[in-house]
Structure 1
Amino acid sequence: MTVIDSPLPDKERAIAGEALQATLVDLLDLSLVAKQAHWNLYGPRFRSIHLQLDEVVTTARDFADAVAERAAALGVSPDGRAATIAATSGAPAFPAGWTKDTVAIDALVRTFAAVIARARTHVELTGPADAVTQDLLIGLTAALEKQSWMFQAENRT
């Protein structure tokens, strides 16, 4: 059942909706990974990485909201429940417990790589179906790639 009439035909709405839902869970998981790292970080670069992780959380949460609202606008009910995130996220697991700054950075780089790869796939899939959704995903991908670059630069010697 849909409560909101979609501006898209059913096939295109399904394509955009699936891309938006997958992106939503990846972004919510990314925000949780970044918070886990934020709370458990230690090492000589604690302060700078701690603050950088807050930027990741803000970016992920802001785009998650935009993605969920786009889905709703298309008549697709967004699902950001913890069980859905755990079952469907494309982000790799983050280590439990205290995490050295270099380990956290490596984990974030891997997480960004996975989330960006899926986002780029969704950009391609939504192009023919819905240019508005594609545009949102393009902006999101650019923001994630910027964050990824910054974390990659942290561990290069």
Structure 2
Amino acid sequence: MATQSDTLTKTKSSASGAPRNARKAAKGGAGAKLTNEQNAESGFHASKQLSESLQRVLVDLLELSLQGKQAHWNVVGRNFRDTHLQLDEIIDAARSLSDVVAERMRALHALPDGRSDTIAETTSLPEFPHGEVDTDEVVDLITERLEAVVATCREVHDEVDDEDPTSADILHEVLGQMEQFAWMVSAERRTPQGR
């Protein structure tokens, strides 16, 4: 009867007669088995509520990236170049963070939905105006949309944290980046206090 060790070492032999790519069995057998908790494929599954909360953040980030591109293409006026480039930074961050959220959902056996009709029907962001938009108005519009993403994250945060602190850590990253962008973008229209 062939043992596991025999099976593992039956590979092509090199010129010296020693097996190539041979694996040795661990002492005492084939090695430790993963427990259900350690095996991601059969481990933790997101509840319906956790899935829906992460989906809300996902669609808002995707919509932000789309609206950011719309603004990027159609912004005109004073400080055009700075606004144009800053929008690209926001778009890149929103796309990157949406991917992190979607992949976290998949890791928890949830199904992210980034289809255009789903985004349009479920985002909390207001519609972006059509046509050319002045830089000052773009600053206000994008700040409003950044704050909408932040509001969604803050609204779902505590329930997400109760069920899955790791997913809440992702929300912290979204919040940190979106709040920083909101501050930086809105500063374009501010004047120093006391003046």
TM class by shorter-chain length?
over 0.9
Shift of 1:77: 1.0
Q: Distance in 2 between matches of 1:55 and 1:13?
A: 33
- Gaps spanning 5+ residues in structure 2: where? 1-39
Shift of 1:13: 2.6
Structure 1 residues 9-52: Cα deviation after superposition (integer angstroms, max 9, x where no partner): 5xx53232111111110000000111000000001110000000
Matched-pair contact (CA < 8 Å) for 2:61–2:95: yes
Q: Does 1:151 align with 2:185?
A: yes
Q: Distance in 2 between matches of 1:128 and 1:6?
A: 21
Matched-pair contact (CA < 8 Å) for 1:24–1:68: yes
Which protein has greater RCO, CA pairs closer than 8 Å, 6+ apart? 1
- The structure richer in helix per residue is 1
- Aligned residue runs from structure 1 range 117-156, under 5 A: 117-156=151-190
Shift of 1:5: 4.3
Three-state SS of the structure 2 residue aligned to 1:80 is coil
Q: Does 1:94 align with 2:94?
A: no
Structure 1 residues 81-112: Cα deviation after superposition (integer angstroms, max 9, x where no partner): 00000000011111110000001110011111
Q: Give the count of matched residue pairs.
A: 152
Match of 1:8 among 34, 40, 44: 44
Max Rg structure: 2
Q: Distance in 2 between matches of 1:7 and 1:57?
A: 34
- Gaps spanning 5+ residues in structure 1: where? none
Q: Distance in 2 between matches of 1:23 and 1:64?
A: 8
Q: Does 1:116 align with 2:150?
A: yes
Q: Among the aligned pairs, what percent are the same residue?
A: 41
- Aligned-residue CA RMSD (Å): 1.3
TM-score where L is the length of structure 2: 0.75
Q: Which residue of 1 aligns with 2:76?
A: 42
Three-state SS of the structure 2 residue aligned to 1:72 is helix
